[in-house]
Amino acid sequence: MHTLLVVEDDPTINQALTDRLTAEGFAVVRAVDGPGALTAFDEHEPDLVVLDVMLPGLDGLEVCRRIQARRPVPVLMLTARVEETDVLVGLGVGADDYVTKPFRMREVVARVRALLRRVDRAAELAATPQGGLVAGDLVVDRATRRVHVAGAEVHLTPLEFDLLAVLAERPGEVHTREVLMTEVWGWADARGSRTLDSHVKSLRAKTGADRVRTVHGVGYALEG
């Protein structure tokens, strides 16, 4: 059974999320503010965090940053703000995905399950002996989940690594948006495009501006 940490200061939403996720078979730990979230994270070691952006004490972005510094886990952000800068900032501190309020419970459950499937798949890949993926001066080691560019290690979030690994499996080949969303996130819909685009922008910032090529109307390809 996976353990989830739900962090939401609105008691109605917090209870509704807890009830639904519990009914779906998850063990749920709750927190209502930033400091409480960090305490619960350390005490219960959850497999995934559902985290509201607007929290008392510490906001969700700072909580996410501190959580990822402790132990990388998938984080699903809850936000009422959909502007591009908000999304990019959230993903930049280690969030894997987001849903906007008001949301449907079934969408939250679907996103949670998709993120957990990605974690399980990454663990299986890491346990299987494999050589490093090489594209030019880029080396992606799936066993150790480490990335080097021109000999220097580049630190990626778990989701950034998974996206890069998929692209690096077939460098130069165009991967459609639908394929990337399905292979990395476990689902694909129109709303997921901004999440994908945000992670590609982050990869470019960390590995080189020309590393990932955009094929307009289709998807992305990794340059060697």
The per-residue pLDDT string of the chain (224 residues; one tens digit each, 9 = 90 and over) reads: 899 999 999 999 999 999 999 999 999 999 999 999 999 999 999 999 999 999 999 999 999 999 999 988 999 999 887 676 677 676 778 888 888 898 999 999 999 998 898 777 766 655 555 557 888 889 998 888 889 998 899 988 888 898 999 999 888 999 999 989 888 887 766 555 678 888 899 899 999 989 999 999 899 999 87
Digit-coded pLDDT (tens) for 98-125: 888 989 999 999 999 988 987 777 666 5
> How high is the pLDDT of residue 84?
62
Looking at residue 177, the DSSP 8-state letter turns out to be: H
Asked if 84 and 72 touch (Cβ cutoff 8 Å), the reply is no
CATH number of 205's domain: 1.10.10.10
* Same domain for 172 and 114: no
Widest distance between CA atoms in the chain? 52
Instruction: Phi first, then psi: give them for residue 84, nearest 5 degrees.
Output: -55, -40
> Domain check: are 17 and 102 in the same one?
yes
Tell me, yes or no, whether 202 and 94 share the same domain.
Answer: no
Write out the residue range of the structural domain in which residue 117 sits: 3-122
Based on the fold, state whether residues 118 and 138 are members of the same structural domain: no
End-to-end Cα distance, the chain: 41
Among 122, 148, 178, residue at a domain's last position: 122
170 shares a domain with 70: no
- Which among 102, 122, 142 is the end of a domain? 122
Residues 6+ apart with CB under 8 A from 194: 84, 87
Are both 110 and 152 inside the same structural domain?
no
Instruction: Check residue 189 and give its pLDDT.
Output: 67
User: Given this model, what pLDDT does residue 48 score?
Assistant: 96
- DSSP secondary structure, 140-170, as one string: EETTTTEEEETTEEE---HHHHHHHHHHHHS
The CATH number for 22's domain is: 3.40.50.2300
Residues 12 and 116 in one domain: yes
| Domain count for the chain | 2
Asked which of 122, 154, 173 is the last residue of a domain, the reply is 122
Q: What pLDDT score does 94 carry?
A: 83
8 A C-beta contact, residue 138 and residue 168: yes
